[in-house]
Structure 1
Amino acid sequence: MDYSSILKLKNKTNHFFVPLGVSNHLIRWGVPEENITELGWWDESEYEGLQVAFTPSQHMSGRGLFNGNTTLWGSWVILGQNTRFYTSGDGGYGSHFKEIGQRYGPFDIALIEGAQYDERWRKIHMMPEESLQAREDLGAKNMMLIHWAGFTLAYHGWTEPIERAIRAAEKENVNLIAPQIGETVALKHGEWSYPITYWWNK
């Protein structure tokens, strides 16, 4: 959650769904309280025909010395009439993926974290191969790797996560999509067809 991003989004966004404890920050930054829904793990809410559920993640919150775990963290399920969507947010691999899949799956697409990893950080960041396993646990037909094309936090190369994910997806016959940052990908009748262009090498 980035302060400057929230300032840019607050007048363009009708409603914010946030983990427990996060609404206080948004209110302080000028987001009207009535435009915020705060959820705990497994809480659900309805919004404009969509079912929104806040689901577990294996991570932590806080960036400073004194604000560790003062807010909740997690992942999100969004269920529409035609599309079932999941995004993992940040987090390590764990049994929660199977439970989410059992409760809400199968999913049409899952956006799953798989970068900024290190052997010392396995509890909070996944290796790309673990991301593919999470997709299977969730019962997702299609997958997009996230958390790899932005900030550099780990010692691995910038393109290593997506390249490892592509190799694992080819081996397991998984439909992995890797659109360029900001690019739109259309879902047609539950099938995502998007060729990997390796734009990061250009």
Structure 2
Amino acid sequence: MKQYIAIFFISICMLAGCATPNRITRVDDSNAIVVYTDESGYEDRFSNMYDSFMAYPVTCTEDCYPASADIECESDMQNCQFVGNNPTVNSHTGFNVTWLGHASFLLNTASGEQILIDPVFGQFDWPVNWAFRLAEGFSRNEPAEVGEDKLAQTDAVVYSHIHYDHFNKADIAELGTKPEYLVPLGFAEHFPNRGYTIKEMAWYTSKKTGKTAIHFVPAHHFSNRIWVPYLYEDDNATLWGGWVFEHEGNTLFFAGDTGYSPHFKDIKARFGDIDVCLLPIASYFSETSPKWYRKVHTTPEDAIVASQDLGCKVVVPWGFGNASWMMGDKTSHSALFRLMKMKQQLNTTIPWVILNEGGQVSF
């Protein structure tokens, strides 16, 4: 009888999704930096390091989206593929990078570590996905698939910030409790209680996964999860940032969502020239849109300047593409057209490797 009772309660627990406490640790480090807002009434809200910065060195003002022989599209800058030739880069870092779409990457290292960066495999979490279905044009095409066997090899998952296009609760349910989750401060409370191992990190703290050191670094952005006007109870209650992955002296930088600011020079001062930079070029509004939006999202020309500040030896851009949500951009690929124009105009010597969703490259 006891055996049947035990089976009964286990079955009920499985159906109801019984909670298992998560293992949450705050990573302590003497190098840790946290900046809190001085806004009245908010003593525990995070702030950017250079919150008032809005001095952008370059701005494209005319003919920003000329045709490019390197990009083939089904319609005007829409449903496109990059068909040009990428530069040959022999940096021997051992990093293998797969772009899954939008801000999601799969990173493999020479010693076998596999790290997922900002994985979002489908649409936004409920209820925003439901709302977006009512607003034509805001659902993304399905991103590149990784496959269950490949996902099962994941050692760590890192998130840059809490926004819906970078963090999806449905995905962590799929990834399960095997990987370690590295997240910004205040982030862990957004995980359901299912036994996840979560490390919360401040800027310039570090955690090792195998032979790879993972450093959390600043970005110039913001955070919220509740999209209701004038309801600010979660604004900037979680931190945001980027990630530097360091393996046997080689570095790869993922910027996360960010505007341009001096924080890029700060990162170079800490880590030296960056071997591989994954930089956002999309999700920006035009010059007629509110100024605050450029403050938190780089234009293609901002990303080019940032790559120089960082001393990038090679850059992979992201944020555009057929599996993006076209948030704030003209079309799915307009940011890439603008990048091609501004790279030529600014005469940058840094090589840029352009991937299509699902594409991969070894450095």
Cα distance in structure 2, aligned partners of 1:155 and 1:48: 38
Residue of 295, 318, 324 corresponding to 1:146: 318
Residues 169 and 175 in structure 1, CA contact (< 8 A), matched pair in contact too: no
| Match of residue 116 from structure 1 | 283
State yes or no: 1:8 paired with 2:174: yes
1:31: how far off?
A: 4.5
State yes or no: 1:165 paired with 2:339: yes
| Match of residue 182 from structure 2 | 17
1:186: how far off?
A: 1.5
Residues 169 and 176 in structure 1, CA contact (< 8 A), matched pair in contact too: no
What is the letter of the counterpart of residue 117 of structure 1? Y
What is the letter of the counterpart of residue 62 of structure 1? N
- 1:154-195 CA-to-partner distances (Å, cap 9, x unmatched) read 1422211112222333431321111121222112xxxxxxxx
Name the SS of the counterpart of 2:335 in structure 1: helix
1:125: how far off?
A: 0.6
Residues 256 and 280 in structure 2, CA contact (< 8 A), matched pair in contact too: yes
1:29: how far off?
A: 5.0
Cα distance in structure 1, aligned partners of 2:300 and 2:193: 35
Cα distance in structure 1, aligned partners of 2:173 and 2:358: 20
Cα distance in structure 1, aligned partners of 2:249 and 2:265: 22
| Match of residue 44 from structure 1 | 206
Q: Could you say which structure has the greater relative contact order, defined with CA pairs below 8 angstroms and 6 or more residues apart?
A: 2
Cα distance in structure 1, aligned partners of 2:225 and 2:189: 16
Cα distance in structure 1, aligned partners of 2:301 and 2:193: 38
Cα distance in structure 2, aligned partners of 1:59 and 1:41: 13
Name whichever structure is richer in helix by fraction. 1
Name the SS of the counterpart of 2:207 in structure 1: strand
Residues 329 and 335 in structure 2, CA contact (< 8 A), matched pair in contact too: no
| Match of residue 304 from structure 2 | 132
Residues 115, 31 of structure 1: alpha-carbon distance in 2 compared, 3 angstrom cutoff: farther
Q: CA RMSD in A?
A: 1.6
Cα distance in structure 2, aligned partners of 1:90 and 1:81: 27
- 1:29-85 CA-to-partner distances (Å, cap 9, x unmatched) read 5242xx221100111122211111111111111131331111000011110015310
State yes or no: 1:107 paired with 2:274: yes
Residues 29, 143 of structure 1: alpha-carbon distance in 2 compared, 3 angstrom cutoff: farther
Residues 185 and 202 in structure 2, CA contact (< 8 A), matched pair in contact too: yes
Question: Scaled by the length of structure 2, what TM-score is found?
Answer: 0.48
Residues 179, 31 of structure 1: alpha-carbon distance in 2 compared, 3 angstrom cutoff: farther
Cα distance in structure 1, aligned partners of 2:199 and 2:358: 27
Cα distance in structure 2, aligned partners of 1:109 and 1:167: 22
| Match of residue 196 from structure 1 | none
Question: Scaled by the length of structure 1, what TM-score is found?
Answer: 0.84
Residues 217 and 267 in structure 2, CA contact (< 8 A), matched pair in contact too: yes
Residues 60 and 69 in structure 1, CA contact (< 8 A), matched pair in contact too: yes
| Match of residue 30 from structure 1 | 194
List runs of 5+ in structure 1 lacking aligned partners.
188-202
Name the SS of the counterpart of 1:21 in structure 2: coil
Cα distance in structure 2, aligned partners of 1:153 and 1:4: 21
1:52-91 matches, within 5 Å, as 52-64=214-226, 65=231, 66-81=233-248, 83-91=250-258
Residues 283 and 326 in structure 2, CA contact (< 8 A), matched pair in contact too: yes
Residues 48, 58 of structure 1: alpha-carbon distance in 2 compared, 3 angstrom cutoff: same
Residue of 164, 174, 179 corresponding to 2:350: 174
| Match of residue 194 from structure 1 | none
What is the letter of the counterpart of residue 179 of structure 1? L
User: How many residues are treated as equivalent by the alignment?
Assistant: 183
Residues 53 and 76 in structure 1, CA contact (< 8 A), matched pair in contact too: yes
1:9: how far off?
A: 2.0
Could you list the structure 1 runs, at least 4 aligned residues long, displaced by more than 3 angstroms after superposition: none
What is the letter of the counterpart of residue 173 of structure 1? T
